[in-house]
A = this chain, B = another copy of it.
Amino acid sequence: MVLKVYADRLSQPSRSVLLFCKVIGIDFEEIQVEVLKNQRFSPEYKAINPMSQVPAIVDGHLKLFESHAILIYLSCSFPGVANNWYPSDVSKRAKIHSVLDWHHSNLHRGSVGLILNTIMAPKGFPSSPQAAKEAEKILMKSLNKLETFWLKDGSFLVGSSKPSIADISLVCDIMQLQLLSDKDFDRILSPYKKVVEWIQDTISATAPHFHEVHGLLFKAQKRIRGQMATQTVSALSKI
């Protein structure tokens, strides 16, 4: 039976799993679970992931959620996955686990918190300006650690010359910031030259799949930025 991937391309961990499947050439069926339509709370989806989050996979009898766990599982259970994605060397693998664990409470928490409390606030998510401010602080501190520590010894994370599942996971997360205004995106990212270069290197290393998997995000960006421009024009006309 073919691998089933339950995902929403507007969710950053969903994109990381879809992107990895495409990069390593796994045959899979993508099943859309639209977060904004609350499809993740349906009884059918809850039977696959009782936490009601995306992504999740079903592979034979195995139901699995949490994107890092899925990326590791795919690396280990499908044949022919190149060693750079999830190195077999125990020390190199330990470093990959370390950055993936760090990701949870730092970069991911910052980026999700900022987007939920700004861009997604009108969609009915619980939000507050204070939470947005705190999330941005976590995000900036995380980007600084990426620049000064995680990327200090190589083109990719933890001193690697080739990308791993950690690069895919973290870059897909940062891409969510594309939903912010042009000005905010530049203000947040531009101080971090190595981070910006690493994003480009990861995009190149996973081409052409990266752009395909992020197509829906860029459509959403266009719509959101268009609404922002309309609101600005409307506000200016009242001056």
CA of A89 to CA of B145, assembled, Å: 34
For A73, give the chain B residue with the smallest CB separation. Answer: B94
Could you say how many copies of this chain the assembly holds? 2
Is the pair B94, A62 in contact by a Cβ cutoff of 8 Å? yes
Mark interface residues in A82-105 (1 if CB within 8 Å of B CB, else 0): 000000001101110110111011
Cα–Cα distance between A62 and B66 once the two chains are bound (Å): 27
- Is the pair A97, B66 in contact by a Cβ cutoff of 8 Å? yes
Q: Which residues from 40 to 89 on chain A have a C-beta closer than 8 Å to any C-beta of chain B?
A: 50-51, 61-62, 64-70, 72-73, 76-77
**Chain B neighbourhood of A149, CB < 8 A:** 50-51
Q: A22 within 8 Å of B by Cβ?
A: no
Q: Does B94 contact A72, Cβ atoms closer than 8 Å?
A: yes
* Assembly CA distance A65 to B150 (angstroms): 13
A109 at the interface (CB under 8 A from B): yes
- Residue contact A98 to B50, C-beta cutoff 8 Å: no
Residue of B nearest to A152 (CB): B50
Question: Once the chains bind, are B77 and A98 in contact (CB under 8 Å)?
Answer: no
Q: Are A73 and B101 in contact (CB under 8 A)?
A: no
CA gap between A69 and B96 in the complex, in Å? 8
User: What would 14 more interface pairs be, CB under 8 Å, given A64-B94, A69-B95, A104-B105?
Assistant: A65-B98, A66-B97, A66-B98, A66-B102, A68-B101, A69-B98, A69-B100, A72-B97, A73-B90, A73-B93, A73-B94, A77-B91, A101-B104, A105-B105
